[in-house]
Amino acid sequence: MKESLNLFDYEGEVICGVDEAGRGPLAGPVMAAAVILDPKHPIAGLRDSKKLSEAKRDALAIEIKQHALAWAIAECSEQEIDELNILQATMLAMRRAVEALSVTPSLALIDGNRCPVMAIRSEAIVKGDDKVAAISAASILAKTARDHALYELHKQYPQYALDQHKGYPTALHLERLREHGVAPFHRKSYAPVKALLK
- Beta pairing, strands 15-21 & 30-36: antiparallel
19 is annotated as contributing to ligand binding: yes
Q: Which of 122, 106, 123, 32 lies closest to 69, judged by CA? A: 106
Q: How far is CA 175 from the centre of its chain?
A: 26
Q: Give backbone dihedrals phi and psi of 116, rounded to 5 degrees, phi first.
A: -70, 160
58 is annotated as contributing to ligand binding: no
Which DSSP state fits 29?
A: -
How far apart CA 122 and CA 166 sit, in angstroms, is 30
Sheet holding 107-111, edge to edge: 70-76, 30-36, 15-21, 107-111, 121-125
147 is annotated as contributing to ligand binding: no
For the annotated binding site, the residues are 19-20, 111
- The annotated binding site for a divalent metal cation is made up of 19-20, 111
